Structure 1
């Protein structure tokens, strides 16, 4: 019986395991090895690690965890989780079964990019989703903002305000949402509504190819893709989901299912409009979940519950 099984080995999951391991809790981390930010070569806004490789951060994190004998790391896929006496049963691919008193879900999200040839392959490398994460590096560049939903189109106003005076919205065959029409016009941001069939090139030399054969040359592209949960485990457990699909958590990172915590961009407080996708906030969520999870275990062990 583990004290806690952490599903997900990104910043949230690894930091949850680190905090728990330092409290001498018996921890198992199960990581599928398919992180959301795998395409990105750099991460930002992480004090002392600004510009650091996300892959290198995960590598360093795993090495640090190896110094704690109570923490185990396993590369694998969790197929199912279910409540069991005293905690939960976790079944990995291949029917390997483990038990834990508590769970931390740090499985993250998946970006659902538009069906434009070359877009997904360049996501995180020339095509960016977040101006907080990548805006500074694209300052002064010629930019395209791809998308037709209101939050996607409104991103053009933000990057034009902060980082570039040459921004073009490409709605990929859709009209501009009415609330954005006058705002874009006032800001002097042009719009192209023709379908985009392909994106070529690399950061600094990108080309959007339209269905009519014309080409728009840009140095970088922003595309705020919708997301879905990377894993169905939260839904399988019956955790409450918010309208955008994020797992609802409270200030302690607790889900609606007792004993199940969630951390990172897989979850958010109901009061927030979006899940934050920053590496540093994911790591903070993991630490927060581990601290309060540890306190819950302690209170159970000394009979302070109820």
Structure 2
């Protein structure tokens, strides 16, 4: 069997993409390794109608609703190889099976590369976060820490000043410029130049431990991870990548089409920054365009169909 669309990745963007394909009455296969990027977080915030809901439950309900469509097939496996051209792609999985599809949607997400500090990884998504819009409100206007990973952390500290009393832990990662120092002072952000030895404390109250013996208790700790696109498929397919301020992501156009005809990408793997809301919207766009384009015969023409604009295949 040849599927109309194969979606690689069954998290929020992949689910949203597959749902649009299913509702277009085309056969869609979802290949999922079961590793959501936010699997370490218990709750999701900022997603309309689901604010504060279990992150696991949102994905579970999305999968249940998707599988209610008879033209959807789900495979629990890791996609290990992808090759082919428009209308003739093959995806090979960890189960040893090969699947053929006319279009591919890559929704594999990204992998976070975290600072190497004892205790940090264990608290990632619980009391150590990266997105103020997702988790800043829960700090309750209390004492918030920003663990520097580069000069971009100064910008993160400037943002977080809206959510509480913010302290930037430079931790020998960069030397703030005069302009940065002035901007931070204007936002009442204080700086600590001590070397961090470990992160400890309970989920709701992280503690920053310094090599000089000091310890600071916070209501939330934020840091910027570096990201890399998860899995080898973009490189195997020769999709163009972009370097963003926080890491690489797959280059796409407005229709979520990559540099390879017939291959689309969505969610964190195709965005400079992400959230559940961004991922769902991005996935819906990829699903719509991957199917609407299939029967258009005017290359490079922008055609309006119903509520969406569709650009034909390259």
- What TM-score, normalized to structure 1? 0.91
> Relative to 1, partners in 2 of residues 1:85 and 1:141: Cα closer, same or farther, differing over 3 Å?
closer
> Residues 45-124 of structure 1: matches in 2 within 5 Å?
45-84=46-85, 86-124=87-125
- The aligned residue for residue 44 of structure 2 is 43
- Alpha-carbon deviation of 1:297? 1.7
Contact 1:253–1:289 (CA<8 Å) still a contact in 2? yes
Once residues 148 and 63 of structure 1 are traced to their aligned partners in structure 2, the CA distance between those partners, rounded to angstroms, is 39
Go from structure 1 to structure 2 and tell me whether the alpha carbon gap of 1:51 and 1:305 turns closer, same or farther (over 3 Å shift).
closer
CA separation of 1:188 and 1:292: change in aligned 2, threshold 3 A: closer
Describe how 1:136-147 pairs up with structure 2 within 5 A. 136-147=137-148
Farther-moved stretch of structure 1 (277-286 vs 187-196): 187-196
1:114 and 1:225 in contact (8 A); partners too: yes
Q: Distance in 1 between matches of 2:174 and 2:66?
A: 50
For residue 256 of structure 1, report the CA deviation from its aligned partner.
Answer: 0.5
Deviations 1:52-98 (A, max 9, x none): 11110110011111211110111110111001573211110143111
CA deviations over 1:127-151 (Å, ceiling 9, x no partner): 1101111111113111110014122
Please state whether the residue corresponding to 1:249 is helix, strand or coil: coil
Residue-by-residue CA offset, 1:139-165 (whole Å, 9 max, x unaligned): 3111110014122122112111x111x
SS of match in other structure, 2:296: helix
Q: Is the 8 A contact 1:82 1:237 kept in 2?
A: yes
Change over 3 Å in CA distance of 1:208–1:169 after alignment to 2: same
* SS of alignment partner, residue 207 of structure 2: strand
Which structure carries more strand by proportion? Answer: 2
The Cα RMSD (Å) is: 1.8
> Deviation above 3 Å: which 4+ runs of structure 1?
185-188
Could you tell me which runs of 5 or more consecutive residues in structure 2 were left unpaired when the two chains were aligned: 298-311
In structure 1, the gaps of 5 or more residues are 269-274
CA contact 1:175–1:193 (8 Å) conserved in 2: no
The structure-2 alpha-carbon separation of the partners of 1:132 and 1:217, relative to structure 1 and needing over 3 Å to count, comes to same
**Shift in CA distance, 32/147, structure 1 to aligned 2, threshold 3 Å:** same
Separation in structure 1 between the aligned mates of residue 28 and residue 289 of structure 2, nearest angstrom: 15
Aligned residue pairs total 295
Cα distance in 1 for residues equivalent to 2:59 and 2:273: 19
Structure 2-normalised TM-score?
Answer: 0.89
* Distance (Å, rounded) in 2 between the aligned partners of 1:184 and 1:299: 52
Q: Counterparts of 1:140-289 in structure 2 under 5 Å?
A: 140-160=141-161, 162-164=162-164, 166-178=165-177, 179-244=179-244, 245-268=248-271, 275-289=272-286
Indicate if the aligned counterparts of 1:87 and 1:100 stay in contact, CA closer than 8 A. yes
Query: Residues 85 and 262 of structure 2 are in contact (CA less than 8 Å); yes or no, is this contact kept in structure 1?
Result: no
Give the whole-Å Cα distance in 1 for the aligned partners of 2:274 and 2:13. 11
Say if 1:289 and 1:149 are closer, same or farther in 2 by CA, change over 3 A: same
